[in-house]
Chain A
Amino acid sequence: MMRLHRLYYVLALFNAITVAASLYLGHEMIQIIKSSVAIYRETQQRLGRYSELGRRAQEANAVINATFADGSIEAHERDFDAARREFEAALQVEREETARLPAEDRQMLGPTLDEIADGMAQMTVGVHEVFRHLRAHSLPEATRAMVAADRHYGRITIALRRMRGDAVDLQAHVLDRQEQDANDRRWNELAIALAVLVMVMATGFYGQQVSKRLRRDEHERTEYFTALEGVQEALREQAGELERRVEQRTGELATANRQMAEAQQLANIGSWSWHVRSGLVTWSDQQYRVMGFEPGSVTPSYELYMKALHPDDRDKVQAVVDRAMENGEPFEVLQRVIGPEGRTRHVETRGQATRRPDGQVSGLTGTSQDITVAHNAERARRAAEEQFRAYVENTAEWVWALDPRGFLTYSNRAVFDILGYEPEELIGKDVRPLVEPKARAATERLLPEVIAGRQRWNGIVRRFLHKNGEWRYLESSGMPVLDDTGRFVGFRGAERDITGRKLAEEALRRSEERFQLAASATNDVIWDFDVPTGAIWRNEGMRRLFGHADGVQQMEGWEALLHPDERAGVRARLDTFLASDRETWTDEYRLRRGDGSYAWVLDRGIAVRADGKPVRMIGSMIDISDRKEAERMKSDFVSFVSHQLRTPLAGMNWMLELAAEAEHLPAQARDYIGEARESAARLSTLVNDLLDIARLESGRTMMAHHAVRLDEVTRSVLREMQTVIDDKHHRVTYETAGAAPALGDEQMLRQVIANLLSNAIKYTPDGGRIDVRLTQRKDLVEWSVSDNGMGIPRAAQGRLFEKFYRADNAISKEAEGTGLGLHLVRLVVEHAGGQIWCDSEEGEGSRFTFTLPVAQQEGVRA
């Protein structure tokens, strides 16, 4: 390495020298070039100066010529002098320049300059001669002088020319010198080139050596690191192995500790030790917890322990500790510990003494167990036992225990209430005779099975003989009792007095029997509707009469059987009934038979209510199809006949109308015709009424239910009747406090009002008083008309609204009346959902009142 190092320095030096030499050579060459250029330039300048000189000389010469031309001598003389001076100046410059040259070079040029100077001087002389002669106006002299001057000028020119050549020669000479110089340096060049070559080769060699060395070093280093890695690897393995072993040992240790701690925690036992002289106390983690602390949160000490004890237990514990310290015997003590959070724990401490080598007691060590749970459990158990005992003693059921023979070993007080015996009277005795013989035999038969199978029994009902000779029904439950070894040692059970229930059941059964018999005997369908659940039970009449299954069906099933036209109405009326507090319900509707045809049914029921709410309805359905059919036929007949009656009626009316309009009618005939028309009108009314009644009764009418303004209708009817009222000189008052529209058919209600008013007018003697009132009470509209007329006998009032009924006093009174009016009135009112009644005193007057529901919505149909 050292060798290379030295080589490096040598090489560096050599390189430096070579480079320096090269640089120097270079420098020299440049200098040569520069001087060559300088020489060249110098020569050019010289030549330039020579030219200048030439020009000056020429100028000077020219002056002479000029002088000859124009003859102005002074001027030209001046010019010549000027030119000459210039020439002299230029020449002087040249001399100076030449003086700078090296001696050898100077020699080449110097003489010539002198010659030129001389030439000029001569010329000057000549020129002055010229001027002199010119002045003297001797032209030929002048000319001769000029020629002489010219000659000198020629010399100058020639000398200049020669100098020019000399200058060029000089240049060549100098250049030769330069070339020689350069050639001399050729060897230097070569030497330097060689040196450069050596430099390059040496450097290369050096570089190679260096890289070889580096490679070798690299190789060595690699080997070294490989070896190093190997060693490291081995070390790591060993370290790993070591760690594993340590971990393992630590793990085992930790596990052991943990198990110990867990065991302590599970059992809630802590361990402690106390070295008396130093006062050092150690607690295991669980010991802390037993004492109520977090492990490690306090420093254990005897004082801390004592302080934690319940005040009442301190003396006890102290005494135990003292004794243990004295005699070294193992000890145990139960104490209460109050934790820092205030909770009391029951702790059982066991311990023993630790002894010094010399046998003296040095301290204590042991365990403490938190037995609070067990302690509390024991207390709870005892309390439960007490409670149970109290319960058994005081229950209404007769609780007993028998030995295997069947002799009573235990009985609670209830036996007195149930069978009339005091417990003391029966204990130790065989109680089986108290049981009804029949039941007893059955029981005895089953006993072996019960015992063998260790089965409980429940719900066995037997009759027992009360002390007073009466039978009681007792429901038994019990089980055989076995001891720890499984040996049968007796029975245990309870009896419940169900005598009351039994009697009730019996009564119910008989009642049910009666009912069933009655239900079968009748021809009607008997039904029982449980309102809350919606279930309806029917007897077999359902099958017999209508071809449906008897038994229980849901409410919706019954609804589905109703005729679509009636369904909503019936349902609505039923709901209204259920919501009210009425007791009886009745309705008529069509029910679909099993074969699809419809039967008319009269349905009646009674509601049983609890707290005003209906819980049950019981009723019967009668098939009134026949009756309805008869009614319908009658209705149809009435309808048919009425229509037929109308045709001749119309004929009569019209003919009479025509007759009344005939011209030239005698007055009497006119009267007769008038009365005939009145009669016909009455007949018309009768027929209309009959038809209305027939329609309403047939149940097939769809009376329009709109909102009818009774106020307007009343006023309108009153207006119509004004004539009759005036004829009879009645005083009619009409008062209304305003009422909502009522629900009904306007046309029919108009008839109702007209009818009632007409009656009032009719049955009141002239000059009577009629009061009409229209009010609203809650959701009912009330309309009434009172008169001070004949009144209605009490006996007749009940039958007033029957068809064709006219009270006796009415009939006797000659007033027209078909007896249809009120019947129709009632039908219309009731059809509209209202009510009508009459208050009357014979001889004083009557008041007819009807109510109608207020129209809640428009267009509700019945």
Chain B
Amino acid sequence: MSATARVLLVEDDKFLRRACEASLRQKGFLVTTANDGEEGLRLARAAPYADVILLDLLMPKLPGIEVLRALKSQPETKSIPVLILSNSSREDDKQAAMQLGAAGYYVKANLSLRELAVQVDQLVQQHEAH
């Protein structure tokens, strides 16, 4: 596990944000959080760039899918792997996200923090390999 791995968490729910952040910090990641899509996009574009972005879909101001689209169309953020953490298990939503280039799609209610950490770690290592 890379000690210097940066994770950007974009999630509007307070509890989820706090729990996720705490868990990831415990496991040694550097975590930055954003409360909504706009803030998330702003933070993503700013250096130092995150190694992994965890992105919620249902958010006020700017929906997650738009954030994803923006991230993938900008050169500085294009290559950062994005994990979608949603609560929709609708196939349409999943397809849309995967087509835009998301690295993964998980339903939060069915995902344990431990599993999440494992996924993030894998992505970080893949990303570093480039």
Q: What are the interface flags for B77-94 relative to A under an 8 Å C-beta threshold, 1 for contact and 0 otherwise?
A: 000000000011111000
Query: A382 → chain B, closest Cβ, in Å?
Result: 90
Q: Report whether B107 and A646 are in contact in the complex, using a CB–CB cutoff of 8 Å.
A: yes
Query: Given the complex, which residues of A lie within 8 Å of B90, measured CB to CB?
Result: 639
Chain A, Cβ-Cβ closest to B23: A658
Query: Given the complex, which residues of B lie within 8 Å of A684, measured CB to CB?
Result: 109-110
Q: Report whether B13 and A647 are in contact in the complex, using a CB–CB cutoff of 8 Å.
A: yes
Contact A647 B87, CB 8 Å, known A658-B23, A661-B26: yes
CA distance A691 to B111 in the complex (A): 17
Which residues of chain A from 138 to 152 have a CB within 8 Å of any chain B CB? Answer: none
Query: Given the complex, which residues of B lie within 8 Å of A643, measured CB to CB?
Result: 58, 87-88
Q: Report whether A655 and B15 are in contact in the complex, using a CB–CB cutoff of 8 Å.
A: yes
Contact A657 B112, CB 8 Å, known A651-B15, A651-B16, A702-B91: yes
CA distance A687 to B113 in the complex (A): 19
Which residues of chain B from 65 to 115 have a CB within 8 Å of any chain A CB? Answer: 87-91, 107-114
Asked whether any CB of chain B lies closer than 8 Å to the CB of A560, the reply is no
Query: A651 → chain B, closest Cβ, in Å?
Result: 4
Q: Report whether A691 and B89 are in contact in the complex, using a CB–CB cutoff of 8 Å.
A: yes
Query: B95 → chain A, closest Cβ, in Å?
Result: 10
Asked whether any CB of chain B lies closer than 8 Å to the CB of A688, the reply is yes
Asked whether any CB of chain A lies closer than 8 Å to the CB of B20, the reply is yes
Asked whether any CB of chain A lies closer than 8 Å to the CB of B118, the reply is no
Q: Report whether A650 and B114 are in contact in the complex, using a CB–CB cutoff of 8 Å.
A: no
Asked whether any CB of chain A lies closer than 8 Å to the CB of B22, the reply is yes
Q: Report whether B112 and A647 are in contact in the complex, using a CB–CB cutoff of 8 Å.
A: no
Asked whether any CB of chain A lies closer than 8 Å to the CB of B19, the reply is yes
Which residues of chain B from 1 to 53 have a CB within 8 Å of any chain A CB? Answer: 13, 15-16, 19-20, 22-23, 26
**Contact-size category for A:** 20 to 34
Query: B115 → chain A, closest Cβ, in Å?
Result: 10
Q: Report whether B87 and A654 are in contact in the complex, using a CB–CB cutoff of 8 Å.
A: no
Query: Given the complex, which residues of A lie within 8 Å of B20, measured CB to CB?
Result: 654
Asked whether any CB of chain B lies closer than 8 Å to the CB of A649, the reply is yes
Q: Report whether A687 and B109 are in contact in the complex, using a CB–CB cutoff of 8 Å.
A: yes
Asked whether any CB of chain B lies closer than 8 Å to the CB of A357, the reply is no
Q: Report whether A647 and B108 are in contact in the complex, using a CB–CB cutoff of 8 Å.
A: yes
CA distance A639 to B90 in the complex (A): 9
Which residues of chain A from 674 to 715 have a CB within 8 Å of any chain B CB? Answer: 684, 687-688, 691, 701-702
Which residues of chain A from 144 to 191 have a CB within 8 Å of any chain B CB? Answer: none
Contact A658 B109, CB 8 Å, known A646-B87, A651-B13: no
CA distance A77 to B16 in the complex (A): 183
Which residues of chain A from 803 to 846 have a CB within 8 Å of any chain B CB? Answer: none
Query: Given the complex, which residues of B lie within 8 Å of A500, measured CB to CB?
Result: none
Asked whether any CB of chain B lies closer than 8 Å to the CB of A751, the reply is no
Query: Given the complex, which residues of B lie within 8 Å of A654, measured CB to CB?
Result: 15-16, 19-20, 23, 108, 112-113
Q: Report whether A649 and B91 are in contact in the complex, using a CB–CB cutoff of 8 Å.
A: no
Query: B56 → chain A, closest Cβ, in Å?
Result: 9
Q: Report whether A688 and B91 are in contact in the complex, using a CB–CB cutoff of 8 Å.
A: no
Which residues of chain A from 21 to 52 have a CB within 8 Å of any chain B CB? Answer: none
Query: Given the complex, which residues of A lie within 8 Å of B13, measured CB to CB?
Result: 647, 651
Q: Report whether B107 and A655 are in contact in the complex, using a CB–CB cutoff of 8 Å.
A: no
Asked whether any CB of chain B lies closer than 8 Å to the CB of A648, the reply is yes
CA distance A590 to B90 in the complex (A): 22
Query: Given the complex, which residues of A lie within 8 Å of B114, measured CB to CB?
Result: 657
Chain B, Cβ-Cβ closest to A655: B19
Query: Given the complex, which residues of A lie within 8 Å of B89, measured CB to CB?
Result: 688, 691
CA distance A687 to B88 in the complex (A): 11
Q: Report whether A646 and B108 are in contact in the complex, using a CB–CB cutoff of 8 Å.
A: yes
Query: Given the complex, which residues of A lie within 8 Å of B58, measured CB to CB?
Result: 643
CA distance A218 to B88 in the complex (A): 136
Query: Given the complex, which residues of A lie within 8 Å of B15, measured CB to CB?
Result: 648, 651, 654-655
Query: A648 → chain B, closest Cβ, in Å?
Result: 7
Query: B22 → chain A, closest Cβ, in Å?
Result: 6
Q: Report whether B22 and A650 are in contact in the complex, using a CB–CB cutoff of 8 Å.
A: no
CA distance A691 to B93 in the complex (A): 14
Query: B118 → chain A, closest Cβ, in Å?
Result: 13
Query: A261 → chain B, closest Cβ, in Å?
Result: 100
CA distance A651 to B111 in the complex (A): 11
Q: Which of A646, A651, A653, A701 contacts B112 (CB 8 A)?
A: A653
Query: Given the complex, which residues of A lie within 8 Å of B112, measured CB to CB?
Result: 653-654, 657
Query: B88 → chain A, closest Cβ, in Å?
Result: 6
Q: Report whether A657 and B23 are in contact in the complex, using a CB–CB cutoff of 8 Å.
A: yes
Q: Report whether B16 and A650 are in contact in the complex, using a CB–CB cutoff of 8 Å.
A: yes
Q: Report whether A688 and B113 are in contact in the complex, using a CB–CB cutoff of 8 Å.
A: no
Query: Given the complex, which residues of A lie within 8 Å of B87, measured CB to CB?
Result: 643-644, 646-647, 650
Q: Report whether B26 and A688 are in contact in the complex, using a CB–CB cutoff of 8 Å.
A: no
Query: B73 → chain A, closest Cβ, in Å?
Result: 27
What are some 16 contacts across the A-B interface (CB < 8 A)? A639-B90, A647-B16, A651-B13, A651-B19, A654-B15, A654-B16, A654-B112, A654-B113, A657-B19, A657-B112, A657-B114, A658-B19, A658-B26, A684-B109, A684-B110, A688-B89
Q: Which 4 A-B pairs have the closest CB atoms?
A: A651-B15, A654-B19, A650-B108, A646-B87
Instruction: Please list the residues of chain A having a beta carbon within 8 angstroms of any beta carbon in chain B.
Output: 639, 643-644, 646-651, 653-655, 657-658, 661, 684, 687-688, 691, 701-702
Instruction: Please give 15 more A-B residue pairs, beta carbons under 8 A apart, in addition to A647-B13, A647-B109, A661-B26.
Output: A646-B108, A649-B109, A650-B16, A650-B108, A651-B13, A651-B15, A654-B15, A654-B20, A654-B112, A655-B15, A657-B19, A658-B113, A687-B109, A688-B110, A702-B91
